[in-house]
A = this chain, B = another copy of it.
Amino acid sequence: MKIAILGGTGSIGEGFALRWAEKHEILVCSREIERAKNVASDYKNTLSNMGIHCCTITGCDNEAAIKDADVVVLSVPYQGVVALLEKLKPLFKDQIVISLVVPMKKNKMFEFVPPRQGSAALEIQEILPKTVKVVSAFHNVSARKLAKIEFILDYDVVICADDDDAKKTVMELTHDIKNLRPLDGGGLESSYMIESLTPFLINLAIRNKLSDLGIKFA
């Protein structure tokens, strides 16, 4: 599967690239193509140094990646995502778009600040063509832990989507990362719940002197 990671040069992007590269073709995307290429090359070196030489990780610009990909991962901050997608939407056809986007702001603590649609995922679905399948997932996996490829991610990933096949694909992508357990979180209208967990987890970590919290349901 060809996976484009928007925001691929950040640590969340790094984690997905390193952890999916053995099974999938990874497009690391950035507005600056030179930076994307350098980072993609770094990721390949990291894997090479671990004895993993099988992988296709390519740096490219957002436009080329979206046109080419089966799956587009949106690992970008909420601020700017609307403008970015308004610009890029003519390039989308029927891709699966995985939204990790969390609309939040920091006052005294972090707060979930949903758009009028109720969640970032619903807002993104409204912007993109109806043929694009938005799937909401991976908000609550620590970027730092994801990027440390030797770290065992013993967590649950709740996945919300309206399209059952797209949800199934993202469940399989979750299984491709060792120990992560995908859970069906229902339709996209439930995405506010998993998005709002992110500021809740950050606040919980701050208040209780913990860090990089993930969730496990048992």
Contacts and interface: CB of A to CB of B under 8 A. Distances in A.
Interface of A: 109, 154-155, 158, 183-186, 190, 193, 196, 200-201, 203-204, 207-208, 210, 213-218
Contacts of A185: 203-204, 207
Contacts of A158: 204
Given A184-B208, A208-B183, A215 B213 contact: no
A109 B215 CA distance: 22
- Copies of this chain assembled into the complex: 2
A207 B193 contact: no
A32 B185 CA distance: 41
Contacts of A217: 201, 204, 210, 213-216
Nearest to A212: B218
Nearest to A112: B193
Contacts of A208: 183-184
Contact of A193 (B154, B200, B215): B200
A48 B200 CA distance: 42
| In the complex, the 5 A-B pairs of residues with the closest C-beta atoms, listed nearest first | A184-B207, A216-B216, A213-B217, A193-B200, A183-B208
Nearest to A201: B217
8 contacts: A154-B218, A183-B204, A184-B207, A185-B204, A190-B200, A215-B215, A215-B217, A216-B216
Nearest to A216: B216
The residue among A109, A207, A214 with the most chain B CB atoms within 10 A of its own CB is A207
